[in-house]
Chain A
Amino acid sequence: MPHNLANLQALHLTADDIEFHTGFTPHSFWVGSLWGGVYRLSVWRQPQHWLRILGIEMITLALLGMLSVPIGLITLRDTANTHRFLQVTTTATGLMFASWHVRLWHRKRTLRPLMRLLDDIDQYNQLVETVILLDGLTQANRQVPVPDQPPILEALQASRMSLVTALNLERLIRQHQRLFHQNQPLWLDLDQALITLQALELQDQAQDYQDVIQQALTISLNVQTTVRQLSQS
């Protein structure tokens, strides 16, 4: 029986889903708002985003420059000494820009596990796309034997569950460090997803779909590692 496209589409982890579970709005190169957000870790490996980074740096510099104008205006109260005004605003802007970068560095350290999970989510969404594509190809070519597909859906659902659980755990650790170890049901969900995927991997599948299950398992293992590291840190 071919997959229902709507079912497959629903497996995507959208930006709204991620925001709901983490409290941060994710983008391809940035997470969160301008003041409280941070660059994605993967952005430094993708040259196509470097121009955007430059754009964010320039806009932040300009906004901070604007905020430093009132400080500079103090120097203009008695004289129209524009040289002094420029000195003061440039220094204030530089200091604020440096503070913003320190904050960025601190947030990068705090949100490192979330960044790793977001990279895993990107990988997972690509996997869902691959399954949708394979499903479309199978339906277009009726001569190709249709593999037993419910296990694929099951694998993706298990992978999705492990990602969502990990996002919830990460938020819990970030916000309520002390309550974290009391929240056993989330840990059980994570383990259950992995057991499901390992069981599916042992079943005999068509090669394309075997790769999908293998990748889903890899994602879930990465998620497990990230969450274990997070809980030990």
Chain B
Amino acid sequence: MNAVAIFADLLKDRHTFLQDIHEGKRLSVKISALLVCSFCSFAIYGAIIGSFHSSLQALSSGLKLPTLYLITLLVCLPALYVFNALFGSRQTIAQHFTYVLSAAAVIALLLVGFAPITLFFVITISPVKDYSFFLLLNVVIFALTGMFGVSFLYQAMRPVAQSDTDTNVQLRSTVLRFWLGLYGFVGSQLGWTLRPFFGSPGAFELFRPREGNFWTGVLDAIANLMQGAG
């Protein structure tokens, strides 16, 4: 099972790789390879950001980061498939899964590309004083890699008319855009549930107590900011 070779195909010959998915060629092998490689890449990056706090946090984040990306994908996949099928797509769920997994693999690969930079900062900054800086740095990295991944998926899955009578192309494009938003929405909640990933200064904790959801957390943070300013 040469997962790395298949992963390399995605990088070097993306057009053929996507064409193969479109034609349904070797999907099970591709799925296995993408799953294994993206899991390992996310685990490496997760371990690096966790090592900013402690080795226990490194182990924990090394498992949490792949879980965040890949479980979100699994949770959102049926919605994408059902809506596309409803509006005329003839692609199977395995093809849908391979497409979205390819996008996750692109994000994973970009994160591994950023790994030496993150590691450099882990080594050179203070875990207590520079916690906010490290957090911000990673927010930028995650946002950047996420944007590239989303753009890749949008390009790869952009619907094309499957017959002369296929009038649902525009509708499927809207479904895809809606799904990308949904992926971000579910991902943010799962990320909120699985936190901490970085480990704030203090003792190691596997999970933080549940306090509302991601969006109430954002609203609380904004409210605190306004109160501070007022």
Which residues in A have some Cβ–Cβ distance to B below 8 Å?
19, 25, 27, 30, 32-37, 56, 59, 62-63, 65-67, 69-70, 73, 76-78, 80, 82, 85-86
Contact = CB atoms under 8 A, between A and B. Distances in A.
Contacts of A80: 207-210
Given A37-B1, A66-B63, A66-B67, A59 B209 contact: no
Contacts of B205: 82
Which secondary structure dominates where chain A touches chain B?
helix
A82 B210 CA distance: 12
B85 interface: no
A66 B193 contact: no
The residue in B28, B193, B208 that gathers the most chain A C-beta atoms within 10 A of its C-beta is: B28
A35 to B, nearest CB: 7
Nearest to B25: A19
B1 A30 contact: yes
Interface in B100-135: none
A63 B63 contact: no
A94 to B, nearest CB: 16
6 contacts: A30-B1, A32-B1, A67-B71, A69-B63, A73-B193, A82-B206
B70 interface: yes
Contacts of A63: 35-36, 39
Contacts of B36: 34, 59, 63
Contacts of B153: none
B32 interface: yes
Given A37-B1, A76-B210, A66 B66 contact: yes
B23 to A, nearest CB: 15
